[in-house]
Amino acid sequence: MSELPPDLPRLQTVVTYLRAELSRAERALAVAEERAAEASGRRPPPEPAVWLVEHGIGVGRRPVRVHVGGCWDTSQRCAPVSAEQARRALTDGVPECPHCRPDTVLGVLD
């Protein structure tokens, strides 16, 4: 830190100056935060995945169910996949979700 003056009048001047600068910096910060909030609010939300594969718990984390994107019965263990990957999972024996029925939508019926 720089040397401060030893006398009272000059110290009061320095403090007054620093308070004014701090106030200016806080106003600039508020404006910048407001702009950032507006910019993030303008971005559209990411599109939901069209197809999801739900993975099990544990080391192997094998697929346990296939879902249509937006299904209400999904978990945090879902990963987005392509339609071809979802079809392949269904034909490889991964069960379909009984609620959203991706097998019907994809035309993979037994």
Q: Give the pair of three-digit tokens for residue 45.
A: 């939300």
What is the share, in percent, of the chain residues with pLDDT greater than 70? Answer: 98
pLDDT tens digit sequence for 76-90: 899 999 999 999 999
Q: Report the pLDDT averaged over residues 8-32.
A: 95
For residue 90, which of 69, 59, 72, 63 has the smallest C-alpha distance? 63
pLDDT tens digit sequence for 38-77: 888 777 777 778 999 999 887 778 899 999 988 998 888 9
Burial of 94 (0-12, 13-18, 19+ CB in 10 A): middle
pTM of the model: 0.56
Judged against a pLDDT cut of 80, whether residue 1 lies above it is answered with no
The DSSP H or E segment spanning 81 is strand 78-81
